Amino acid sequence: MKIRLIKAVAFTLLTGVFFSCEDLTKVNINPNGVQPEVVNPNLVMPTVLTEMSKTYVNLGYQDIAGVVQHTQKDAWSSGHNDYDWGGNQSWNDYYAILRNNDLLYSRAVSLNWEFQQGVALVNKAFMFGLITDLWGDAPYTNALKGEVGGTDNILPAYDSQEVIYTGILADLEKANTLLSKQKSEYSNIVDNVDVIYSGDPTKWRKLANSLALRYYMRISAKKPDVAKAGIEKIAKNPANYPVILANSDDATMGFPGTSDGTSWPANAVYDVSGSNYRRIKMANTFVKYLQGVKDPRLGVWAAKVEIPLVLDASLPAKTDKILDGKRYLSPDVVGSSKIDTDPDYVGLPTSFSQLPSAYNLNPTPGQTSFNPHVSFLAPMYKNASGPLLKARLVSAAEVNFILAEAALKGYAVGDAKTFYENGVKASLSTWGVGSNSTAYLANAGVAFDGSVKQVIEQKWIASWTAATEAWFDFRRTGFPELKAGPVAKRQAIPVRFYYMQDELRINSKNTAAALDKLEVTNFSQADGKNSAWSKPWIIQGTGKPY
């Protein structure tokens, strides 16, 4: 009996082990998930596109809007106003988007789905372009290979900016070919997973070539012959290289507004206190410029001051009273304080004080972001969604301004004045004030004067909520002529992000090699090589922006 029992138990254990091993291979397939090797590329696309778009608008609406002085913050402002970034800007989320996009591309290649391949190449170019624009040299050739294993893949070397830009332009050229067919010639396009163009290959092709224009212009000071040839090739061959020249082709993503993660950043719907919205104010630099050229977009983007200040020397001493919606002040009450008595729009000066909430004699400084004497952003920016609340990746305005600048450089692309005026018109129409185009283009400072400075300044205006492009244009051209405020971390505008501490610690050898190629400036100071004021390759030797 004992022998038979032992045999039975042994048989049960052996068969259990055998079948358990077989079952484990099945258990490792998540019944509630999708395996990378069999995933439908259309299931990956919306995640890539939404995260890419959110990343871009968060930069352009938040701290980079502070760098280019579209906005300033009146609380928690050191990063936004003063460029006190602490050296911890991370690219982890950027590479996470690229990993998902790499899956989208590899699966599309396996299935021979050319539309999805083309879209993935455009996304790849956009995200790697953003990384190298922001940081400088970065992992590229060996990036996204961590799962393969090996030190070279887990701790990848940094490619030079020159190599990355060259790779980006090659990918966009390939995307132009992949996206060159009519929609009916592609298989497996699902319109509603494409949150940018609803499955339209022609518009994606225009985006690919428009991005190529962006990056050719980006390298124009470093590789002028390459830039000139590339831009002229695109401009002279619209049938083979169509670009975004009309607002209907703009690469934008709207926000459903159904949750905090699907809503306009800093909205006051899911931030119940509304503090994130209230902290962001119009910047004085931007307000004064727009007022100087009588720009109708100011009224779209900004709210008028709730209570204007009136300084009246005829008032009795110690007068400080509100009458008929205005706050009347005698000179002794104002004293040495700098105030702005504009009756309509007042912006915060750039990095002017350790307590920016106190500006313009705010009666409750340091306690709240309710400043009745400074312009908030327009009320629409409180909303979670809306027709004007979009992530704008590339616009017709930007492309027209690129071509206007190219023409002024002597490239054979067409008429600079026509492109410039079309860029202005496109931006005005985007923001619902297109009917003002004729009058606006006749205004002093707006009427075409044939200067790159004017083109870049109008491009700076048009980059509202897409401020990264204005930053990269500034460091490349020195326009607009922005100055750091008195309490900024350095008395100059920064030109890059810091390499993050994790890279410095974990991937130290490769990060050190990249740091060694940065050019220290007078403003790098105690930061040394890894400074927001150290020049990457793209502006070394150009004399720009300082």
- The predicted-structure confidence for 449-501, as pLDDT tens digits, reads as follows 999 999 999 999 999 999 999 999 999 999 999 999 999 999 999 999 999 99
Cα–Cα distance between 170 and 182 in angstroms, integer? 22
- 148 has pLDDT over 80: yes
Contact indicator for 462, 415 with CB cutoff of 8 Å: no
- Indicate whether 129 pLDDT > 80: yes
Lookup: tokens for 54: 């959110």
**What's the mean pLDDT when you consider all of the chain?**
93
Helix H or strand E encompassing 251:
strand 251-254
- Report CA Rg, the chain: 27
Which pLDDT band holds residue 19 (cuts at 50, 70, 90)? very low
Q: Is the pLDDT of residue 250 over 60?
A: yes
What kind and span of H or E run contains 282? strand 280-282
Supply the pLDDT for residue 479: 98
- The rounded percent of the chain whose pLDDT value lies above 90 is 90
Q: What is the pLDDT of residue 86?
A: 84
Residue 438 has pLDDT above 90, yes or no: yes
CA distance 325 to 45: 52
How many CA atoms are closer than 13 Å to the CA of 341, on its beta-carbon side? 12
Residue-level pLDDT at 7: 38
What is the model's pLDDT at position 187? 87
User: Tell me, what's the pLDDT at 12?
Assistant: 40
Query: 299: helix, coil or strand?
Result: helix
Cβ burial 221-252 (10 Å sphere, 16+ → b, else e): bbbeeebbebbeebbeeeeebbbbbebebbbb
pLDDT value for 28: 54
List the single range of 27-36, 130-139, 152-161, 370-379 with lowest mean pLDDT: 27-36
pLDDT confidence bin for 34, thresholds 50/70/90 = low
∠ CA 55-61-63, nearest 5°, is 90
d(Cα 265, Cα 268) in Å, to the nearest integer? Answer: 9
Which ranges of 146-296 would DSSP assign to H, the alpha helix? 151-154, 161-178, 201-218, 224-236, 275-279, 284-292
CB under 8 Å to 477, separation ≥6 — which residues?
A: 452, 453, 456, 544, 545
Read off the pLDDT of each residue in 199-208 and give the average, rounded to a whole number: 98
pLDDT score, position 20: 34
- State percent of the chain over pLDDT 70: 93
Q: Is it the case that residue 18 has pLDDT exceeding 60? A: no
d(CA 433, CA 427): 9
User: Does 270 have pLDDT greater than 70?
Assistant: yes
Residue 147: the pLDDT is 87
pTM (2 decimals)?
Answer: 0.93
Q: What's the confidence (pLDDT) of residue 144?
A: 95
Contacts of 338 (CB under 8 A, 6+ apart): 349
Does the pLDDT of residue 5 top 50, yes or no?
Answer: no
User: What was the pLDDT predicted at 3?
Assistant: 40
Q: Which residue has the tokens 């692309």?
A: 413
Q: Output the pLDDT for position 512.
A: 98
Question: Is the bond leading into 486 cis (omega within 30 degrees of zero)?
Answer: no
Kindly tell me if the per-residue pLDDT of 11 is higher than 70: no
Which tokens sit at 4?
């038979």
**pLDDT (mean) for 403-426:** 98
> Distance between CA 396 and CA 344 in Å, rounded?
30
Q: Residues 175, 104: contact at Cβ < 8 Å?
A: no
- Specify the DSSP element, H or E, that contains 468: helix 467-477
What's the rounded Cα separation, in Å, for the pair 49 and 194? 7
| Ordered alpha helix ranges (H), 28-82 | 41-61, 63-67, 78-82
pLDDT of residue 37: 84
**Taking the alpha carbons of 353, 357, 360, 362 in that order, is the dihedral positive or negative?**
negative
CA distance 219 to 69: 24
User: 492: which 2 tokens?
Assistant: 């100059």
Residue 527, H or E segment: none
Buried b (16+ CB within 10 A) or exposed e, 30-66: eeeeeeeeeebbbebbeebbbbbbbbbbebbbbbbbb
Cα-Cα-Cα-Cα torsion 498, 499, 502, 503, nearest 10 degrees, comes to: -170
The span from the CA of 535 to the CA of 229, in Å, is 26
Q: Which of 338, 317, 340 is nearest to 329 (CA)?
A: 317
Total residue count of the chain as it appears in this document:
546
